[in-house]
Structure 1
């Protein structure tokens, strides 16, 4: 079994000698095994984890007290994000790996995901971001057992070296001046500064929010949104030709 072989190889590297090998480079001695069950995507593995006399050996195959493969835990978290019920998650994991996670175990995994998301959403912004890209999309969201369409507001920043990162994501009942203003104000409270240039679509409420919260920043209409909006006014048979013409004009706008 590959997992068992990996454990043995780790121990050999740790003490500098294989099992039963005589070596002047030996750094320690083996001291038996202890059993460990590890739940994976392909079933439950029963492993014999080697120990050393000093009790310092720690495998990289799994963390101390970890009982489930990280990839499996990630799958459970993804199902949670997609709105799959606890009952269905239990059924999927039982069919997938022969183990049914309890509701409390699934809730614990979901809690750690919520904590990681909260830490991301509340992290301090300690460097200037001269460029911002603002956009929104509508997604179906389950809230209190009711599914509705909500606006997902997204702010992507570009630093002085051209590196992009998502500064924040927020939910709103709809895209409006108020929702964007509150979102941008929250980013400023987290430390956002140094904004010189903002790119977005031509949504009037969004533009008003930018003027209010980031009054010193220049604004530019998003090229992709401009093309989409233009094509909305054309019959499908003319779309390809007009798109090429618009791109030609845009590339020579200077």
Structure 2
């Protein structure tokens, strides 16, 4: 009698192993951060370890449950791995922005996110995330330009377009470098 593991079972086992490994390493890093905080950053303060609190963190590798975050008695320690109330690393927001930029609607992005992480984002939340990026782009576009440039780079890119008269059209890219960098 031979027993075999299906591909999906093997994939699930590998994903669980990876999440376990990541959880273990995150907890190790946080313990070392607390040790450094108590011994190096605040050696004269009479502060000490005060156990752990549990939290979950959504990462690009899946949801890490029951992550043990160390704490100190004074409540002054904060890990550098994530913000105090952060529940996700930035990968999801970056993915949402890229999907939206590639032409997916906010509803399509919301459905995709729900399939990926199990929690849903409303179209309004997705719009808010992408609006923040649009604001950054507009600020960059409206920034003041230097009066003199010491170097000017020019480049062109042919892109196929669907128009009545044009098969290909050049888009020119310009990069200017000022004397101070």
**TM over 0.5, yes or no?**
yes
Unaligned runs of 5+ in 2: 1-22, 162-167
CA contact (8 A) 1:16 1:26 kept: no
- Residue of structure 1 in register with 2:84 after alignment: 64
After superposing on structure 2, the runs of 4+ consecutive aligned residues of structure 1 that deviate more than 6 Å are: 24-27
Unaligned runs of 5+ in 1: 18-23, 141-148, 164-254
- Residue of structure 2 in register with 1:28 after alignment: 47
CA contact (8 A) 1:40 1:97 kept: no
- Shift in Å at residue 124 of structure 1? 2.6
Q: Establish whether residue 10 from structure 1 lines up as the match of residue 33 from structure 2.
A: yes
- Shift in Å at residue 41 of structure 1? 1.8
For the residue of structure 2 that corresponds to 1:16, the secondary structure is helix
Greater C-alpha radius of gyration:
1
| In 2: Cα distance, 1:152 partner to 1:27 partner | 63
Deviation track 1:66-94 (CA, whole Å, cap 9, x = no partner) reads 22211222111111211212222223223
| In 2: Cα distance, 1:11 partner to 1:111 partner | 37
CA contact (8 A) 1:43 1:99 kept: no
- Residue of structure 1 in register with 2:129 after alignment: 109
| In 1: Cα distance, 2:60 partner to 2:178 partner | 39
CA contact (8 A) 2:146 2:178 kept: no
Deviation track 1:195-246 (CA, whole Å, cap 9, x = no partner) reads xxxxxxxxxxxxxxxxxxxxxxxxxxxxxxxxxxxxxxxxxxxxxxxxxxxx
CA contact (8 A) 1:37 1:45 kept: yes
For the residue of structure 1 that corresponds to 2:76, the secondary structure is coil
TM alignment of 1:1-254, pairs within 5 A? 1=23, 2-16=25-39, 28-46=47-65, 47-126=67-146, 128-135=148-155, 137=157, 138=159, 154-160=173-179
- Shift in Å at residue 61 of structure 1? 0.9
For the residue of structure 2 that corresponds to 1:133, the secondary structure is strand
| In 1: Cα distance, 2:64 partner to 2:122 partner | 19
Deviation track 1:157-204 (CA, whole Å, cap 9, x = no partner) reads 13348x6xxxxxxxxxxxxxxxxxxxxxxxxxxxxxxxxxxxxxxxxx
CA contact (8 A) 2:52 2:68 kept: yes
- Shift in Å at residue 50 of structure 1? 1.9
| In 2: Cα distance, 1:76 partner to 1:67 partner | 16
When the two structures are aligned, how many residues end up with a matched partner? 148
CA contact (8 A) 1:132 1:157 kept: yes
TM-score, length basis structure 1: 0.48
- Residue of structure 1 in register with 2:3 after alignment: none
